[in-house]
Amino acid sequence: MLSLLFLVLLIQANLSMSEQLPQNIFILAGQSNMAGRGGVVNNTKNGIASWDGIVPVQCQPNPSILRLSASLTWVQAHEPLHADIDYNKTNGVGPGMSFANAILTKVPNFGSIGLVPCAMGGTSISEWAKGGFLYDQLVRRTQFALQRGGVIRAMLWYQGESDTQIREDADAYKGRLDRFFIDLRADLGYPTLPIIQVALASGEGPYVEIVRNAQLGINLPNVQCVDAKGLPLEPDRVHLTTPAQVQLGQVLTDAFLQSLPSPIHIANNSCRRFSNLMFHFLIGPLLRFVLFIVPFT
């Protein structure tokens, strides 16, 4: 009888754990403006960067928003999202939390969201090529995120500032970006993976417009581009401010939702409903029955 009780409790625990897994997975990749530098400033005396710790209401934690940690564990998401991924840099507010919260606000029945942070500050597009550390980490983390269910909804991509320094890199940007998107889709087994990229608001060199034109000129299917040009920048004139990141997250949300069929149907909700019904009509009564008869045995 005790073994039956243990079995029922184990089933109940497994059902509860399953509800903590995200249904909708989004990859966050690129460099520092995707990782988030909102609210990060350099101390004028010692030159050390620090984050002001201010988290806008649009970026507050939500029980329905999870993030995949560096140790490949789903945890509740909070700013800074990339703290354990882009660990050699000081991270602040990025677009990810604003994006996820805006989706849940606009589509309350969307289901839980799992963010997979992969961005790394100061990286060029050539460093994201297939076979490199960043590419392999992105693929590995995404594949892990899918192991226990969930569906990749899109990749959010914001990168290119580092490729504005040398003319040869800027000229080669479009071809390298095309190749990266094609390779990633192939290795994830998702040839139509939705990709929403951000056209640069700034750069580290004089060839910003060449890279921007390459981004705006990408002509692959299911690749959208939103423009960050004109968004407020931190004093370094490279990184987006916290309010700018909030705005960017909402722009990314609009782009994502506009690409979906209307009305939105989230098939994965049926799995959670089935688990809840199973517990309500089968596991729950069985547990109560076992607890009732145990004292008499």
Catalytic residues: 32, 236, 239
Q: Give buried/exposed letters for 112-148 (b at 16+ CB in 10 A, else e).
A: bbbbbbbbbbebbbeebeeeeebbeebbebbeebbee
Q: Are 161 and 201 in contact (CB under 8 A)?
A: no
**How many helices and strands in the chain, by DSSP H and E?**
9, 9
Could you give the residue ranges of the DSSP H alpha helices within the chain?
2-18, 32-35, 96-106, 133-146, 167-188, 208-216, 242-258, 269-278, 284-293
Closest CA to 201 of 170, 174, 164: 164
In the chain, the amino acid numbered 183 is: D
Which tokens sit at 178?
Answer: 């095309």
CA distance 4 to 287: 9
- Classified as helix, coil or strand, 157 is strand
Contact 135, 185 (CB under 8 A): no
Return the bridge partners of 27, or none: 116, 155
